[in-house]
Amino acid sequence: MESLWLALVQHPQLVYQLISLPFAFLFYMLTKLRCFTLTHRYLYLAVGGCVLASATMGSYSSIVLVPALSSALLAYALHPLDVHRWMLGIQMCWQTFWHLSIQYSEYWLHESSDSRLLLAVSALMLLTQRATSMSMDLQEGKVPPPLTGGGVLGRACAVLPYLSYSLYFPALLGGPLCSFAHFVHFVEQSAGSRPPSPLRVILSKTLSVGSLEWARRLLRDLLISYSPSLGCLGGLGQVLWVWTLSVALRMRYYSHWALSDCLNNAMGLGFSGCSQHGTPLWDGLSDGNPWMVEPSSRLSQYTRKWNRTTVTWLRRLIFQRYSTTPLALTFAFSAWWHGLHPGQVVGFMVWAASVQADYRIHNHLRPLVETKGKKLKLVYTCLSWVFTQLVIGCIMIVVEFRSVSSILLLCRMHACFFPLIYILTPLLMKWQ
């Protein structure tokens, strides 16, 4: 229990979300008992978000609360066809200002940023997702435009769904991204069509979070024990160390996603029906789990499954709207959205080049391998999985540690050759 508690303390976001779980389940119970009107449901979620932001971010909560209110007012005041460009522009300018402020503090003043500021900017990134998703839903006619009510109270009630979606507390500190159209439908219909009790899935996902955090701590201790002798390790030893570090980093994401899914499930979001055996399924809203993502034997497949709702958002926001180099533009925007740290820019550009190379490599080799028998196909799949793991591992480390020094450190290790080989392979195949 002590090791688990230490792991949670080192990642306070998990603690804040765990504390929020009973309040999310309380929303489910009060809605099930028909104690809430529609306005009460919207208010409960919005006020919960305000309280959570104030309690966890302190004075930095204004970084999230101000743009949440402004996005709700924009959605209410502007024409549905005009709201998206204003929403995207204002949100990204505000977010970029705070990202650059953090970079100025870290790289120029050499000061560590306040943890509450980092948490507020992380929540701001998620708010940008929700705000732009809302504006795209309005632009595409997936939800009706707001009705203009009479008087101040009527206008406030018309703005309330937008404000509630921007601030609803189960998604304030973590995904997954729920579309505005789905959120509105859920809140409006939750008193009528009630999903089954989520208690079982809450317990299951909470236990999986504990298991992931325990395993991550074991990996961290293993990495620390080998760190002093890292320079003495051979090429294979360095590659294994880098891969293990990337697995530990990815475990943090998986535990965060599992708890975020659990928090949404606790309020009733994410129910997708029942299986053939009558078991309730709660996988309708998820960013991914290791059993679905890690077996991917292709880099492009891994990329589509990783942080799934964010990938869907980026695809809808950038990839589907531009015909010229959409892949590069999508990854470039992702680097901008993440903060434009040097490691993030390099990491996402390498990721884009690797995904492009992945399409070309497998389109060329797979037809040849499939005609050679099952054994060769198995070897090909295993080698492809190994390359996927090592390329993603290098990208993950550079993106997570963000600084130029982390890029230079990785470049001095043998593991850095794997992304380079992967990117250059299509060129070698073209020259043959």
363 is catalytic: no
User: Along the 432 residues of the chain, how does pLDDT read in single tens digits?
Assistant: 444 455 445 678 888 999 999 999 999 999 888 888 889 999 999 999 999 999 999 999 999 999 999 999 999 888 888 999 999 999 999 999 999 999 999 888 888 888 899 999 999 999 999 999 999 999 998 887 666 555 667 777 888 999 999 999 999 998 799 999 999 989 988 656 678 888 999 999 999 999 998 999 898 888 888 766 666 667 788 888 889 999 999 999 999 999 999 999 999 998 887 777 778 888 888 898 899 999 999 999 999 999 999 999 999 999 999 888 999 999 999 999 999 999 999 999 999 999 999 999 988 888 888 777 788 889 999 999 999 999 999 999 999 988 888 888 888 888 888 889 899 888 777 655
110 is catalytic: no
User: Considering 11, 338, 364, 414, which one is annotated as catalytic?
Assistant: 338
CA-CA-CA-CA torsion sign (310, 307, 50, 57):
negative
Report CA 421 to chain centroid distance, whole Å: 28
How much is the CA Rg of the chain, to the nearest whole Å?
23
pTM: 0.93
pLDDT at 4: 43
pLDDT at 231: 63
Tell me which residue has tokens 């090429």.
235
33: its two tokens: 């008992």
Three-state secondary structure of 164-180: HHHHCHHHCCCCCCCCH
User: Considering 264, 307, 341, 362, which one is annotated as catalytic?
Assistant: 307
Question: Which residues on adjacent β-strands are paired with residue 274?
Answer: 280
Distance separating the N- and C-terminal Cα atoms of the chain: 58
Domain definitions of the chain by residue range: 37-189, 199-431
